[in-house]
Amino acid sequence: MTLDALHRTSLRRTLIAALLAGVFIGGVLQVYMTWFTARDAVNAAFDRSLYGAIRAIDANVSTDSGGIGVELPYMLFEFFELTASGTVHYRIATEDGLVEIGSPDIPMPEGTVPLRTPHFQTLDYFGQLTRVGTYVRPLTGPVQGNLVIQVAESLTSREEFSQQFIVNAVARDVLLAVLAAGMVAVAVSWSLRPLRQLKDEVTARRSDDLSPFDTRRVPVDVRPLVDAMNDHLLRYKALLSAQRSFLDDASHQLRTPLATLLTQVSYALREQDTGRLRQTLDAMRGQLRHTIRQANQLLALARADTSEMRTRVTDLNALAAALTRRLWPAARGQRLDLGFEAGPAPVLARVHAALLEEALSNLIDNAIRHTPPGGRVTVRVEGSAQWACLHVSDTGPGIPPEELPLAPQRFFRASNAQGQGSGLGLAIVQSIASRHQGRLVLARDAVEGGLRASIELPAAPDQPALS
């Protein structure tokens, strides 16, 4: 199984597998180190005992008689033989071999043995592995030269003790490794308990429950994931709310015009008089135009609420000038003076150009619809270090001051509004301005006397300040 497949299988299994692998590798290394450390410790202990026997013999060597005399510590040897579980051999000799006491066939170490420093070696002595300790020191008194003392013991007892010691140490390490593995499994299961609780909470939720998850019991490492889930739930909830609003608005706004059209068609089918039939068809055409405008504005409002915001730095002077030129024919048809006043310098903002054109088009269209013939509509662009502004002012009746806060609401129509309208134009502008982190500001124009609608957007970082 690859690591990716392990990740896909279970986070719990991944953690347990990774941690147990570490415990296993650490346990193997620990056993390996324990084996060699214990073996060295046992050898050191037995070698110290061997060296103790050598020093006991050395303490009983005398040269007072002009030769070498030794009084062997037999009680010590008997005790040492019991400890070694076998025969103990010894050799006391001069370095030149003139005097030799004990077992003369115990071999000397290869090379030179440093004075007064014990030397230990393992070799085959009479077909049995034997540990030999050698000690060399200068002779004092009338006898000159170096004295060599060697003691040899069988490795049987040493190996038995070493094996038992190592087995116990390894068993202890294995037990600790098993205990550590069990603790790892328990700790991982306990640590992942909040995730299981979160899973249970998600599973138990109703399909229409889009409330955020409680993060108070969520581990710090997992909280960014839960926060992202909550953010996604909020965005999804807003999207569903927008869809429901669109369906409610569409059904509310289109049901009546369509019913009216059906009634008019039924009347036209029964009408025999040509003049009245033409009047009915003219009324149907007007109703169709109104219905088409309502449908277009509903779709524009849906786009304003849900469109992907792909923005770029745009000069609002160029955008507003081009849109104003396109709407001149509509203004002339209403006998209105539609003018444009550009800012003194490029007014830059990071915007979605199509959406911003939709918002500005709604403001100009509203102004054209509500301004009496012979009036004026002015589009003006202003900029500062903080804001980039689009203003549309007219000489129409405006909106009563007490109704200005309500004007951006969907389907709101001012009490002094004339003619047909959907009440969605300013709602579309408000939605688009909010999507750009901007705002829609409505006020009575001090110069023209009518309504002044302003879209205020954050200026681009390189927006020049007005002088």
- Rounded average pLDDT per 10-residue block, the chain, 467 residues: 56 74 81 81 84 83 74 63 66 81 85 89 85 88 82 81 79 83 81 76 77 76 80 78 66 65 77 78 75 68 66 90 90 90 86 86 87 91 89 88 79 64 73 87 85 90 50
- C-beta of residue 365 within 8 angstroms of C-beta of residue 453: no
| CA 274 remoteness from chain centre | 75
- Closest CA relative to residue 99, chosen from 50, 132, 54, 143: 143
CA distances to 188, 190, 219 from 10, in Å: 12, 15, 18
pTM passes above 0.95 = no
Q: Which domains does the chain have, with CATH numbers?
A: 1-191 (no CATH), 225-306 (1.10.287), 312-458 (3.30.565.10)
Supply the pLDDT for residue 290: 66
Supply the pLDDT for residue 175: 86
CA–CA distance, 380 with 367 (Å, rounded to integer)? 13
Helix (H, G, I), strand (E, B) or coil at 390: strand
